[in-house]
Amino acid sequence: MKKNKLKAISLAALLSAGIFSSAFAQVQVKDDGGANYNPLQTAIPLLSISPDAIGGGMGDVGAATAPDYNSQYWNPSKYALSQSKGGFSLSYTPWLRKIVDDIDLVYLVGYYKPTERTAIGASLRYFDMGKINLTGTPDATGTPQDLGVAQPHELAIDASFSMLLSEYWSGGVALRFIYSDLFNGMDDEDEYSKAKAFGADLSFSYRKPVQINEQESTVGFGVAITNIGNKVSYDNDATMQFIPTNFRIGGSFEYAFDEFNRLGIAVDFNKLLVPTPYGSRKLYNSDEEYNAAKERYEECSSIGGIFRSLGDAPGGFKEEMKEFNFSVGLQYSYARKFMVRGGYFNESADKGNRKYFSVGAGFHLMIFELNAAYLISIAQTNPLDRTLRLSLGFDMGGIKSLFGSSDPVEEE
């Protein structure tokens, strides 16, 4: 009974979170014995969901795009390069909206520049997975057993510090507390546990204006390693899982046609820094070899997993390269007030098969900025497919100007 209960709760929580098939799919094996579908597996789905409508409208790019309110998620070091004194934003992302209407992600983020060279940021992400009525094995009469109601949720709270390293380079660090309760509302605490982790980000940015046709265009570069932290468990340390430590690198170029019209393009590459699963028994010559591979995977530490992830794919270098996904985004802006966006995200069919287009738009007034994003999946069912995401941002400089204060950022 307890085993069935735990299994039901775990499955319901995974489905409610809308984790992509890469999170729980079984490895399929080709006729030649090679691994076919072998996605990386991580816990805490909240950490892998892009939370805002700016990056979301551009195919989920953000490593090297212009600094904005939501840089905390993509690359915190960009805050130090911002021309604004600070600002904050609130984003709302519906989840699995085609199936249910009570699962959503809320993202509150803000930053402040106390000096021209430094910036601090903070954010809160909360993932409400709704209510799930759980049932167990039917009794003698064929009536399913009532296992209660689960109300799973996750949250992440973080803070960052960034500073200019030179005129065009900046660096940043962030610290994060992560909490995941997939069994909220259940009373059998001896079989499950709440997952808790501490994570850290390390990031760098480069952004330089360039003169082209007497107009100031911009080139950018960014790199970030996010969610470097401990493994987590949902069953009192009986099974340990990796959190989604991620390596993101990207470049951008914004071309100014004239004083009012600008077109930007950005490209990101991402790779999860977690070990590749050991795969099917058919990949190994003996039970001993298979069990040894399984033990190495399960006992690997989070830091060891980062280094191991660079060359442990069963299919060698070719499979390792499949673990990189890429995204490309475009943004046209008029007078820096009206923006139209589009993008594309691609992941290998053997590593999750997420492929989708996105479109977005936004407008910026003196005080606030409203952005929207819409995703169109083309390879498989995506929890965000045909879902509208919204972000509302407020610029601190605009608020001060409204009340008659326009003090510039002063350097200490």
Residue 115 has what pLDDT? Answer: 95
Lowest mean pLDDT among 126-135, 232-241, 345-354: 126-135
| Average of per-residue pLDDT values in the chain | 85
- Extract the tokens encoding 407: 């003090």
How far apart, in whole angstroms, are the C-alpha atoms of residue 46 and residue 42? 11
Residue 162 has what pLDDT? Answer: 98
| Predicted TM-score (pTM) of this structure | 0.86
Residue 405 has what pLDDT? Answer: 55
How far apart, in whole angstroms, are the C-alpha atoms of residue 61 and residue 74? 8
What's the rounded mean pLDDT across residues 80-94?
94
What's the rounded mean pLDDT across residues 154-170?
97
Q: Where are the alpha helices (DSSP H) in 274-315?
A: 287-299, 302-308
Q: Where are the beta strands (DSSP E) in 295-402?
A: 324-334, 338-346, 355-364, 368-377, 388-395
Residue 287 has what pLDDT? Answer: 81
Residue 261 has what pLDDT? Answer: 96
Residue 86 has what pLDDT? Answer: 93
Q: Cα 241 from chain centroid? A: 17
**Amino acid residing at 268:** D
Q: Cα 36 from chain centroid? A: 25
Residue 15 has what pLDDT? Answer: 41
Residue 27 has what pLDDT? Answer: 34
Q: What confidence tens digit (pLDDT) does each residue in 278-312 have?
A: 766 676 778 888 888 788 888 899 999 999 999 88
Between 1.10.10.10, 3.40.640.10, 3.20.20.70, 2.40.160.40, what CATH number should domain 2-402 receive?
2.40.160.40
Residue 22 has what pLDDT? Answer: 36
Closest among 376, 347, 349 to 360, alpha carbons compared? 376
Closest among 229, 107, 144, 128 to 182, alpha carbons compared? 128
Phi then psi dihedrals of residue 84, to 5 deg: -95, 155
**Amino acid residing at 312:** D
Residue 29 has what pLDDT? Answer: 36
pLDDT at 269 over 50: yes
- How much of the chain, in percent, has pLDDT values that exceed 70? 83
Residue 185 has what pLDDT? Answer: 60
Helix (H), strand (E) at residue 261: strand 261-272
Structural domain spans, the chain: 2-402
pLDDT at 188 over 60: no
Residue 121 has what pLDDT? Answer: 97
Select the more confidently predicted residue: 157 or 292: 157
What's the rounded mean pLDDT across residues 193-199?
92
Residue 2 — pLDDT band, cuts 50, 70, 90?
very low
